[in-house]
Structure 1
């Protein structure tokens, strides 16, 4: 009997092996991805942005990241000189995709081969740019940059200490008329620009004698005991807000934000002698590792609703016509953000200085080193 049962036992064994193998293969297939399963989501791309401090709403950042499956990595700088140093340092232009910079510095960076021409086909919202920010005197046809925000240089002060402060640069530059302590803005073109306006010169002069005269004025001002040195615009505004200094030369938007929070104690003036108008722009670096995403970011900023949100956050003027229409009337009609009337005729746009920039650099180095 034992030998007669052997073929049946062998057959049963083989059948068991087959079934185990089939079950094992089925388990493997069920554990792994099925043919119809959706592919894993792509990891987010990273966009590197070089920008001034406190210059973009975090909600705008989050919305861009969400819509474009991206992560925005920001590097902060406090002055144009620092920005140029970061961008020009041994291949650093390949570490950044987009840079927010002063328009007057843009032609110099183009000449140095640090910025690339923009592909307008990837920026359909460029149509929203106000015409005056795309003309020959700015960046003819927005070849290398589009405007981000614009503003002027003003004086924030303690209104409780000086309720009747005269709206003049005398309170900074004329020793007998200096009512209290102050700090100067740590930005070459802005600080030399207002000193030139005070002296009755163009803030874009290329005459060495006028530039040096403005430099001499700033050196004398710096040496006055009431001058507590140089600070970036954001820091200077906070100094006045915190009470460690009475007045400061600042960018109007930074100051407008804190003045709005404490109108009883703080005030802001654009001096009657005039001031400068600066325009900050968006540009793509020459070796941007994510050029396509960089163009998408620029186009995103130029959306009407995003441009309006940006200006509401920064308290600076929007160069975007479509965005201006979405701003509340109290923003559009604020003369400290959008200067009007006689004072607007005394404001001068920064221009590219060409070779004359060397004289400005020399004057600024002499001011800061003494």
Structure 2
């Protein structure tokens, strides 16, 4: 987003560069810096009166300190003390329109008859997860609500920085992609619009599908399930091995997979993917998609249609982000090794069959027995993960990177979109939302820039709403999170930043309400934003996405721990410096 002249000229997608706690330790070890004393005091907050264990809130105890609720449902402390109505919120810059947050005051006044509520955030704008993490571990800054990325949620949870959430105070949580609840929520703001076909008012209700379909979206995507979204659930060592044990010593969910009282610590805010941005007036789509990550190693490209040969020297760029760079390299090198080996259990000179990872099993979507076969890069048998820790794999990936960086421009995050628009770069490693914001497909004309996830695979990520352990305004913080997931509010946010909403109701609003689209473009039908979930394909805003599966090519990055982060940083230094 640097083209807008924003703070520090750094993209909001500049993630925690050194992989959470382990990365910060790696930075200290390799730069001979002494650890700041704050890093050793992550768990020194002292147990709050409403906690039954550090970071584990018993919400029945909260009422003893916030007071009984009046007939409007407001705890007495917020009525008696105006200072209790002011929230301190930490957020990525340029991630929501300011007037939406100002309108939280009106929302609380109308819904709860509680005036003068406010969410203050403009002095708490950060440009990376690392910056946010530093604030809460070194500087003593205290927040009520924070918006870290999925693997930073895991890092913060391990560091004792988060509290569990009270789902009864966030009914709009059920609007998130997942199974249809028995009693859908009721929005505070009406979801009405003018039907362009009839000219009459129409209402968009909670999304329901064919009888027997248990999901609130046609693609059966679930951002609420604890197994699929383990980073958001405390003590989920089943699918997130690096999670710390459950504080209560018990299971992290009940027998039906429903989170326990102290299980949920994060609620999705926005999400996206990592792939390749490129100039459409240089590359043919079929050519660059056939290359995938290999395009970053090309020194030139001849367009078969125009016959023009383009010099790509210093016209290619990668993100200045260690984990993202190694994700691209691991996917490219692993896929190439897979192709050399073929689908058979054979060993060829120079290959390493013992390094290959089992592919995920096919997914069966209930209530039918239809098998969703995982496609590329799982179209053979094995694929490397973007969370690899084997030194041999990291060495091979570093070798590939060292082989292409000599003719690349280098590593840069803030200019990933603007430099494609200006033609300074012809192809780059990029985040979906930053490229879409640069393209502005809702405007005409827009620049000839496009985005895709390579066939070899990439990363996916979710930014999340969380509550800091130092928060002492728990009820109001929950109301703010619930407000953000009002269907109309989320639609306004997503139409502003062009990132993907995790809110299924909002997704329907974006698709059906013409005020959130243009005559030639619909955000919910654009697979560059919504991948397989898209209700169409870019340029064909009807039906469902019918192209090659995208999300099963993408993995969530996870905190790989201190020692493994040291290993990553060792290779990263060799590549970058």
Task: Settle same-fold status: TM greater than 0.5.
Answer: yes
1:244 corresponds in structure 2 to 424
Shift of 1:186: 2.8
1:166 has 2:256 as partner: no
Q: In 2, are the aligned partners of 1:80 and 1:187 still within 8 Å (CA)? A: no
Deviation at residue 336 of structure 1 after TM alignment: 0.7
CA contact (8 A) 1:65 1:72 kept: no
CA distance in 1, matches of 2:101, 2:86: 12
Given candidates 274, 277, 295, the residue that maps to 1:153 is 274
Contact 1:159 1:265 in 2 (8 A): yes
For residues 48 and 242 of structure 1, the distance between their equivalents in structure 2, rounded to whole angstroms, comes to 38
CA distance in 1: counterparts of 2:171 and 2:472, whole angstroms:
22
State the Cα deviation string for residues 228-287 of structure 1 (Å, max 9, x = none): 32224xx42122223333333221112113222454532223222221111111111111
Tell me how far apart the structure 1 counterparts of residues 128 and 494 of structure 2 sit (CA, whole Å): 21
Partner secondary structure for residue 288 of structure 2: coil
Q: CA, structure 1 residues 52+187, in 2 after alignment: closer, same or farther (shift >3 Å)?
A: farther
Query: What is the match of residue 198 of structure 1?
Result: 332
In structure 1, what is the equivalent of residue 65 of structure 2? Answer: none
Deviations 1:262-315 (A, max 9, x none): 545322232222211111111111112543332221111111222222222222
2:308 aligns with none
Q: Normalising by the residue count of structure 1, what TM-score does the alignment of the two structures yield?
A: 0.78
Report the equivalent of 2:101.
Answer: 61
**Greater length-normalized contact order (CA 8 Å, ≥ 6 residues apart):** 1
Shift in CA distance, 64/213, structure 1 to aligned 2, threshold 3 Å: farther
CA distance in 2, matches of 1:243, 1:292: 49
1:136 maps to what in 2?
A: 227
Give the Cα separation in 1 of the matches to 2:282 and 2:323.
30
The structure whose Rg is larger is 1
Identify unmatched segments of 5+ residues in structure 2.
Answer: 1-78, 109-116, 179-221, 234-258, 302-310, 335-383, 513-521, 533-546
Aligned length in residues: 326
5+ residue gaps, structure 1, are: 1-38
SS at 2:275 equivalent: strand
Of residues 292, 303, 316, the one that matches 1:182 is: 316
Alignment partners' CA distance in 1, 2:159 and 2:321? 21
**What is the TM-score with the length of structure 2 in the denominator?**
0.52
Q: Is the 8 A contact 2:277 2:429 kept in 1?
A: yes
- What is the DSSP-based 3-state SS (H/G/I as helix, E as strand, rest coil) of the residue aligned with 1:276? strand
CA distance in 2 between counterparts of 1:76 and 1:221 reads 35
Could you say what the CA RMSD is over the residues aligned between the two structures, in angstroms? 2.9
Structure number with higher strand proportion: 1
State the SS of the aligned residue for 2:400: helix
What's the counterpart of residue 281 of structure 1? 464
**Native 8 Å contact 1:133 1:147 kept in 2:** yes
1:84-132 CA-partner distances (Å, limit 9, x unpaired): 223321423x2x2221111012112111111121122321211212232
Per the alignment, do residues 363 and 133 of structure 1 end up closer, same or farther by CA in structure 2, a change over 3 Å counting? farther
Distance 1:291 1:241, change over 3 A: farther
2:531 to 334, 339, 342: 339
CA–CA distance in structure 1, aligned partners of residues 87 and 168 of structure 2: 20
Deviation at 1:70, TM superposition (A): 0.6
Is the helix fraction higher in 1 or 2?
A: 1
CA gap of 1:365–1:84, structure 2 versus 1, over 3 A, is: farther
